[in-house]
Amino acid sequence: MTVASVPYLIIGAGPTGLGAAWRLEGRGIHDWLLLEGGLVPGGLARSVVDEHGFTWDLGGHVQFSHYEMFDQLMDDLLGADGWLYHERESWVWIRNRFVPYPFQLNLHRLPDADGARALRGLEAAAAAHTGARPSNFGEWIERTFGAGISELFMRPYNRKVWARDPEQMDWRWIGDRVAVPDAARARENMRLGRDDVSWGPNNRFRFPRRGGTGAVWHALAARLKQRDDGRESRLRFGVKVQRVDTAARTVTLADGRQVGYGTLISTMPLDRLVEISDLDSDLSDASRDLEYSSTHVIGVGLHGATPEMLARKCWMYFPESNCPFYRVTHFSHYSPNNVPDPSSQWSLMAEVSESAHQRVDRNGVVADVIRGLAATGLIDSYARVHHAWHTRLEHGYPVPSLNRDRGLTRIQSALEARGVFSRGRFGAWKYEVSNQDHSFAQGAEAIDALLDGSEELTLNHPDVVNARRPRAVSPPVVRA
């Protein structure tokens, strides 16, 4: 039974789906429908308030915007007073100490023997540089950083994040995502014992004053929901698409109803889309080229005052095996409102990756994380722990695997030939353009491409978009 038919149907109210809806509205097209399986907007960029009143993101979310239109929208959605501004202070915990990021520029902070070995490797790698293309990410790491930094930091850290060996991954996604080294500068910093940090006034980020990252997407959804003609909202929550028939151009919902469409913008994970579509038998082998890791997010609410040594730190990387997490975010620093009582509470949020190559004990991971916080000195006593909150994201990181692009090319061309445009973090499966700003832009650019035939820059030319330096954000100037 078909209950409706719309020219534009969108699956998912994460940044990509909302970006598509926002652009349709902006271009004067109002006959779209967005179906979201969950009950709130934001997708992976939503926030949760737990039973103790602590707010959590699904992993530490920081906005690195590459788009003016995105920044303007953020200003507009939460208003000048809706944001807090921070310097992006990030650190690596290694050898029982903090080393500022970028790691390779601060080798003097390491024990002498490690620092000397890391520098030797870096200089040898620079001297041996031939410009030959590496065959995988592991090789890229070794050739770019040399043996010392590879073994100390780059390999173990990346293995933890991606939950697989770097040899199982491509290297071409890197672009501006991994800071590449300058051996001469590293040597000079070592000689002078000089810190060379990546933060400062030009390296700020902002975070919603209230409600976590998800506040942004709530605000946008609320705008898109408003209709002045009194008809039912075009943004529907708790409506899961269970089947997509690309030949008939219909989707079937969990309650058996069907919705017809002219064009479908899907932002659900691409492997799942293939699985529930009539193209499954043709594309299931291509779908196996798409690999992902799952992410456990463990929020730890803490009693007392934030320790001085963590006060300004935003997030920290953990390459070593004395803790299960690869990253911890000092989440109450992003906004004091992320805890119910900032005068006596603070919070940390840890991320742990899981895959078939890196198993995680789902029942034991919270205790392992708390032990890891103690082992790495982030908490000085178990008595500090107020409570822990845990969630597992089945699709956490879209892995730039060796055969990813082969699979993507086949799947996307088959879908697009039938009016289905799969976009976003797991819709397009391109890690290099999978942050909130990229995802939002992918949704908006897909609409422009459909209406005008314009190029989808974010999807098709990630390097061009990522070469734009993330815009420095500043608090608004208050004039007396």
Ligand X SMILES: Cc1cc2nc3c(=O)[nH]c(=O)nc-3n(C[C@H](O)[C@H](O)[C@H](O)COP(=O)(O)OP(=O)(O)OC[C@H]3O[C@@H](n4cnc5c(N)ncnc54)[C@H](O)[C@@H]3O)c2cc1C
Looking at the Cβ atoms of 351 and 456, the one nearer to ligand X is: 351
- What DSSP character marks residue 82? G
Residue 434 binds ligand X (CB under 6 A): yes
| Position 446, amino acid | A
Q: How far is the CB of 380 from ligand X (least distance, A)?
A: 27
- Structure-token pair, residue 184: 């001469």
Q: How far is the CB of 26 from ligand X (least distance, A)?
A: 18
Query: Binding marks (x or -) toward ligand X, 64..103, rule CB under 6 A?
Result: ----------------------------------------
How many other CB atoms are found less than 10 A from the CB of residue 156?
A: 17
Question: In sequence order, what are the beta bridge partners of 295?
Answer: 353, 393
The upper half-sphere exposure of residue 430, i.e. CA atoms within 13 Å in the direction of its Cβ, equals 25
CA distance 150 to 4: 56
Residue 398 binds ligand X (CB under 6 A): no
Where does this chain touch ligand X (CB under 6 A) — which range of 29-37, 99-107, 138-146, 457-465? 29-37
- The single residue among 8, 10, 54, 61 that binds ligand X, judged by CB under 6 A, is 61
- The single residue among 8, 10, 16, 207 that binds ligand X, judged by CB under 6 A, is 16
| Position 461, amino acid | H
Residue 465 binds ligand X (CB under 6 A): no
Residue 267 binds ligand X (CB under 6 A): yes
- What DSSP character marks residue 153? I
Residue 290 phi/psi, 5-degree rounding, is -95, 115
Q: Which single residue is written with the structure tokens 């290297």?
A: 171
Residue 424 binds ligand X (CB under 6 A): yes
CA distance 53 to 368: 23
The residue among 174, 239, 216 whose CA lies nearest residue 78 is 216
Query: How far, CA to CA in Å, does 429 sit from each of 32, 231, 241?
Result: 24, 35, 20
Residue 246 binds ligand X (CB under 6 A): no
Residue 17 binds ligand X (CB under 6 A): yes
Looking at the Cβ atoms of 412 and 436, the one nearer to ligand X is: 436
Query: Binding marks (x or -) toward ligand X, 279..318, rule CB under 6 A?
Result: ----------------x-----------------------
Q: Residues touching ligand X: how many (CB under 6 A)?
A: 37
Residue 44 binds ligand X (CB under 6 A): yes
Q: How far is the CB of 239 from ligand X (least distance, A)?
A: 6
What size, in residues, is the chain?
480
Burial of 31 (0-12, 13-18, 19+ CB in 10 A): exposed
Ramachandran assignment for 167, one of left (phi > 0), alpha (psi -120 to 50 degrees), beta (any other): alpha
- The single residue among 158, 436, 458, 466 that binds ligand X, judged by CB under 6 A, is 436
Instruction: Catalogue the E-assigned strands of 147-240.
Output: 204-208, 235-237
Looking at the Cβ atoms of 353 and 401, the one nearer to ligand X is: 353
Residue 6 binds ligand X (CB under 6 A): no
Query: Binding marks (x or -) toward ligand X, 358..397, rule CB under 6 A?
Result: -----------------------------------x--x-
Residue 400 binds ligand X (CB under 6 A): no
- Structure-token pair, residue 198: 């990546």
CA distance 74 to 435: 15
Looking at the Cβ atoms of 61 and 333, the one nearer to ligand X is: 61
Residue 337 phi/psi, 5-degree rounding, is -75, 0
- The single residue among 9, 22, 37, 216 that binds ligand X, judged by CB under 6 A, is 37
Residue 208 binds ligand X (CB under 6 A): no
Q: How far is the CB of 295 from ligand X (least distance, A)?
A: 5
Residue 189 binds ligand X (CB under 6 A): no
Q: Which long-range contacts (CB under 8 A, 24 or more apart) does 477-480 make?
A: none
Residue 435 binds ligand X (CB under 6 A): yes
- Return residues touching ligand X (CB under 6 A): 11-17, 35-38, 43-45, 58-63, 240-241, 267-268, 295, 351, 393, 396, 424-427, 434-437, 439
